[in-house]
């Protein structure tokens, strides 16, 4: 089941965010509503990685920042691929 959820998060990150929001407390460590909404709209994979790192209860170190950087790069690549496909 966790592998299926990971595959779903990479293939359809917005669907995974909605399912995690409805059925789990995965986003309970993110205070406020602004970051989840902006993450859902613009950088969904980054939101999932950030929420996972917040749920591990470890301080943000270099390894965690590398994971966030990779997620941002993947999200920006997905956004760029969508704009190229529309042309």
Digit-coded pLDDT (tens) for 2-47: 777 677 666 788 888 888 888 988 888 887 888 888 888 888 989 9
Q: Structural domain of residue 17, as residue ranges? A: 2-86
| Separation of alpha carbons 87 and 66, rounded Å | 32
Tally of domains within the chain: 1
- CA 61: distance to chain centroid? 18
| Separation of alpha carbons 72 and 44, rounded Å | 9
Q: What percentage of the chain reaches a pLDDT higher than 90? A: 13
Please state, rounded to an integer, the average pLDDT across all residues of the chain.
82
> Per the confidence metrics, is the pTM higher than 0.95?
no
């Amino acid at each position: 089941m966790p592998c299926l959820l990971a595959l779903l998060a990479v293939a359809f990150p917005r669907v995974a965010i909605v399912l995690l929001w409805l059925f789990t407390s995965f986003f309970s460590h993110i205070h406020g509503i602004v970051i989840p909404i902006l993450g859902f709209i613009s950088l969904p994979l980054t939101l999932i990685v950030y929420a996972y790192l917040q749920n591990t209860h470890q301080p943000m170190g270099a390894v965690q920042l590398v994971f966030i950087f990779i997620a941002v790069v993947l999200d920006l690549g997905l956004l760029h691929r969508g704009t190229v496909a529309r042309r």
